[in-house]
Chain A
C-alpha cells in the first residue's frame, strides 16, 4: 500500500498545479494554431511542444540543476543547499516552506559565487541541468541561434529589387517607427501605473514591431530574458497574422487612385553590384554601429555566400539544412520559457496588446512615408509598398501585392515591394543595434 502511495505521489497528476495545467493548455492552443490554422508552423510547433515539455510536473526539463534540486530534493539536501547559500532554514517549518525560502534566496540576486557553490551541491547529489534548460543556454542565452537563422535569412534574400531602387530603403526606415512608438507606449503604460515595464523591457517589447522573429529573440535575450517567451510568441503569432492586420490599415490610408498607381519596371542589376552590396553594408555597420554587427554581420555573410557564386554548397546549407536544425532548437528553447510563473502574468497580455499596436503603427508609418515619397519624386511610387517596410519577409510584400491587385488586376507590385521588405530587415536590425547600444 505504501509503495502504491509513493508511486501516486511521484505521478504527474498528483503534482500538477494550476499554473502548469494552464501552460500545458497554452501549449496545446499554440499547436492547434500551428497545425490547423497554419500560423508560422515551422516555429509554433516546436514552441508549443517545448511549452508543454517545460511544464511537465516533477520532470523539470526547463530548470537548471539548482532549481531542480530545490524543487524536488529531500529535506537533507535542502539543508545542504541552504548552508551553501549562506542561510539557515527554520527547523519548525515543513519542506514546502523551505523550498519557497530557497527559491527566494536564489532569485533575489544572490552573489554568483554562492550560487555556484549551491549549484555544485545540487550537481554533487546527482541533479543535472534539464534538457530544455541546456538547449536554452546553448541556443539563446549565447545568442547563437537567432544569429545563425539570420545568416540563413541572408542567404535566402535577393537584394536585386532593393539595388534597382535604393530609395525604397527609406520605406524600411519609416516602418521602424512602430518599434519606437511601441517602446514609448510600453513606457507610458508603466508611467500610468497600468503595467510595470522597465526601459529595457519596453525596448524588447517594441522590437516586436520590427516583425522579425530572430531579431526580436536576439534583442530580448540581451535586454529582457524574463520576457522572452511572451515576446517570441507574440512576434511569431503576429507575423502569421500580417495578412489580416495590414490590409485594413493600408486601405484606410490610401485612396483607390493611389492604390492603382503602376510603377516603372525595375532595371536589371549586375552580379557585381549584388556581390559588393553586402560588403558595403558590413563596412557601414563597422564604421557607425558596431552593436548591430552580430545581426547584420551574419546577415551580410549569408548574403555574400549566396551572391558570390563560388560557395554554392555553403549557401545551400545555410538556407536549408542549417536553418532547419537551428529552428528546431530555437523553438524548443523559446518553449522552455513558457513557464507558468513568468508567462501567466498581466504583463503577457500587455505584450500581446502592444505587439499588435507595434505592427499597426509600423505599417501606417511605411504607407505614409511612401505617400510622401510619391508626392515628392518624379518616379511614381505606389503607397502600398510602404507597408512592406515592416520586415516579415516575404509575407508583407505578398500582402502589398495582393491589395494592389484588388484595385488593379494588372498591377503586379511584388517585386517593387520586395525592396522595402528587405530594407525592413536591415532597418529593424539597425534599430536593434541602437537599442542594445543605448541600454545594454
Chain B
C-alpha cells in the first residue's frame, strides 16, 4: 500500500517536473524571441562592415592577392590529400 503511494508520488513529481520544465523553457523561448526582435528593431547593430572595409582598403592590394593564391593552393592540396 505504501509502495503504491510512493509510485504515485513519483509519477506526480514526474508530471509536474516535466510540465514545469517545458512551461518555463517555452516562456524563455517567447521572451528571448521578443527580446531579440526588440533589440533588432530599436537598437540595430551599427552597420558592421564599415570598419573592416576601411582596414582592408589600407592594406596593399598585392598582398591580398598573394594571400588568396596561398589559400587556394592550400585548399587544393588539402582536397587532393583527403579525397575519400
Contact = CB atoms under 8 A, between A and B. Distances in A.
Interface string B33-53: 101100110011100100000
Interface string A191-232: 101000001001100000000000000000000000000000
Contacts, number: 112
Contacts of B11: 184
Interface string B56-79: 000000000000000000000000
Interface in B1-56: 3-4, 6-7, 9-11, 13-14, 16-18, 20-22, 24-29, 31-33, 35-36, 39-40, 43-45, 48
Given A167-B29, A430-B24, A438 B17 contact: yes
Nearest to B19: A434
Contacts of A434: 16-17, 20-21
Contacts of A387: none
Contact of B32 (A173, A199, A280, A288): A280
A191 B14 contact: no
Contacts of A435: 13, 17
Contacts of B17: 176, 179-180, 183, 431, 434-435, 438
A49 interface: no
Contact of B29 (A169, A190, A277): A169
A77 B2 CA distance: 43
Which of B28, B31, B39, B40 has the most chain A CB within a 10 Å cutoff?
B28
A235 B39 CA distance: 39
Contacts of B28: 166, 169, 280-281, 284, 426
A190 B31 CA distance: 41
A273 B31 contact: no
A300 to B, nearest CB: 12
Contacts of B22: 170, 173
A264 interface: no
Nearest to B36: A273
A166 B32 contact: yes
B29 A273 contact: no
Contact of A270 (B13, B33, B39): B39
A188 B36 contact: no
B35 A276 contact: yes
Contacts of B3: 190-191, 193
Given A273-B36, A277-B32, A434-B16, A191 B7 contact: yes
Contacts of B36: 163, 166, 269, 273
B28 to A, nearest CB: 6
B27 A280 contact: no
A283 to B, nearest CB: 8
A288 B21 contact: no
A177 B16 CA distance: 12
Interface residues of A, number: 46
Contacts of A439: 13
B29 A284 contact: no
Contacts of B21: 173, 176, 427, 430-431, 434
A190 B6 contact: yes
B39 to A, nearest CB: 5
A301 B7 CA distance: 38
A270 B36 CA distance: 9
Contact of A423 (B4, B7, B25, B43): B25
Contacts of A252: none
B64 to A, nearest CB: 24
Interface string A231-272: 000000000000000000000000000000000000011111
Contacts of B26: 169-170, 173
Nearest to A365: B18
B39 A191 contact: no
Nearest to B18: A180
Contact of A272 (B4, B16, B39, B48): B39
Given A177-B18, A430-B20, A184 B29 contact: no
B6 A191 contact: yes
A216 to B, nearest CB: 15
A181 interface: yes
A172 B35 contact: no
A187 interface: yes
B51 to A, nearest CB: 14
Given A183-B10, A434-B16, 4 more contacts: A162-B32, A163-B32, A173-B21, A176-B18
Q: Which 10 A/B pairs are nearest by Cβ-Cβ distance?
A: A187-B10, A191-B3, A180-B14, A173-B25, A166-B32, A434-B17, A169-B25, A270-B45, A166-B29, A184-B10
11 contacts: A170-B22, A183-B17, A187-B9, A193-B3, A268-B48, A270-B40, A272-B43, A280-B32, A284-B28, A427-B21, A435-B17
